Amino acid sequence: MIPAAFDYVRATSLAHAIGLLRDDPDGAKLLAGGHTLLPSLKLRLASPALLIDIGGLAELKGIEISDGGIRIGALTTHAELFASEPLNKDLPLFRQAAGLIADPQVRNRGTVGGSLANADPAADWPAVMLALQAEFEIAGSKGFRRVPACDFFVDIFSTVLEPDEILTGIHIPQPKSGTRCVYRKIRHPASGFAVVGIAIAIRLTQNLVTDATVGVTGAANHAFAGEDAGDFLIGKTLSQENIDQAARLLSQATKCLSDRYASADYRANLIQVELKRALLALSS
Ligand SMILES: Cc1cc2nc3c(=O)[nH]c(=O)nc-3n(C[C@H](O)[C@H](O)[C@H](O)COP(=O)(O)OP(=O)(O)OC[C@H]3O[C@@H](n4cnc5c(N)ncnc54)[C@H](O)[C@@H]3O)c2cc1C
C-alpha cells in the first residue's frame, strides 16, 4: 500500500499543466480529487513519474448558468453538484446522482471531471451527462475542442482524451421548459458503484413525449446513450405498453458485462426494471 516514488508539481495555470503533460505524456498523470488516483498509486496499478496537481486551477472550477446553457468546471466536486440550488432546480438528477456516490469524504474531494476522465464503467456521472446531451470541453497542446458525451467514452477506463489533454469543463444545453429528469441506480452492496444506473430526461406535451434521452452506466464496458429507446418514445404516451417496449429496446442496446456479482442477463433485466421505474416516476 505504498506508492512508487514520484515527483509532484502544483500547476499554476492550465497552460502550465498542458506543457508538463506535453513534455512527458507517458510518465505524467493529472491529480484532481485523488479519490481514484491515490488508491491506484497505493496498489501500484499506476506508477507515474510525475503527478501534476490541477486542484488549484480557478478556470476549472465553478458552475455557471446562463441563457446559453450550463457550464460545470471539471474540478467541481460531487458535493458542490449536490448542493447547487440553481442547478438542481431544473435538473434534480444532479442531486440524486451525487447523493448516491460513496460517502461525504469522497463527495467532498472527488470531482466530476476526474470521474468522467477516469471512465469507470460503473461511475455515475457518465449516465447523467449522456441523458443531458452534454459536451465536454477539452484543452491540449494542439488547442481546444468539444466532444459530445456520446462520443467520449471508448472502452473500460478509456476515453478519447489524448495523453496531453485535460478535460476542462462540461457544457449542458439549457433544459427546455417542462423537462423532467431522474437518475436511479442499483448499487453494488460492497463498493456502492452502479451495477446498473439509468439517467433519463423527457419532456411531455399534452401527454405525448416530445423529447427523451437516456444514459446508462454500470451495464457495459462504458456508459452509453439509449438512442433507440429514446427515439421510440417520441410522439407516444407513457402507457405501460410503450414503457415496456422502450425498456426492451434499452436492454438490447448493448452487450452487458458479466462478473461474480451480476451476470449479463441479470444486468440486462435490471436495465429494463430501472428504466420502467424511472419512466413511471416521471409520468406521475
Ligand atoms: C470509496 C470510494 C467509493 C466510490 N464510489 C463511487 C460511486 O459510487 N460512484 C462513482 O461514480 N464514483 C465513486 N467513486 C469514485 C469517485 O467519484 C472519484 O472521486 C472519481 O472517480 C475520480 O475523481 P477525482 O477527482 O478523485 O479524480 P483523480 O483520482 O484525481 O483522477 C482520476 C483519473 O482521472 C484523471 N483526471 C482527473 N481529472 C482530470 C481532468 N480534468 N482531465 C483529464 N484527466 C483527469 C487522473 O489523471 C486520473 O487518471 C468512489 C471512490 C472511492 C474512493
Q: Print the domain residue range for 46.
A: 7-53
Q: What is the DSSP string of 150-197?
A: HHHEEETTEES--TT-EEEEEEEPPPPTT-EEEEEEEEPTTT--EEEE
152, 186: one domain: no
Regarding the beta carbon of 185 and ligand 1, being less than 6 Å apart is answered no
Q: What is the pLDDT of residue 99?
A: 97
Total domains in the fold of the chain: 3
Q: Which CATH number fits the domain that encloses residue 141?
A: 3.30.465.10
CB contact at 8 A, 249 and 228: yes
Reply yes or no on whether the pLDDT at 110 is more than 90: yes
The three three-digit cell numbers of residue 267, written as one number: 444486468
131 in a structural domain: yes
1 in a structural domain: no
The three three-digit cell numbers of residue 63, written as one number: 458552475
Would you call 148 helix, strand, or coil by DSSP? strand
44, 68: one domain: no
Mutate to test the pocket of ligand 1, among 36, 75, 154, 158 (most ligand atoms within 8 A of CB): 36
Over residues 58-87, mean pLDDT:
97
Reply yes or no on whether the pLDDT at 284 is more than 80: no
CA of 169 to the centre of ligand 1 (A): 15
Q: Which residues contact 20 (CB under 8 A, 6 or more apart)?
A: 9, 11, 28, 50, 52
The three three-digit cell numbers of residue 18, written as one number: 498542458
Q: What is the pLDDT of residue 191?
A: 93
Q: How far is CA 255 from the centre of its chain?
A: 20
pLDDT tens track for 133-167: 999 999 999 999 999 999 999 999 999 999 999 99
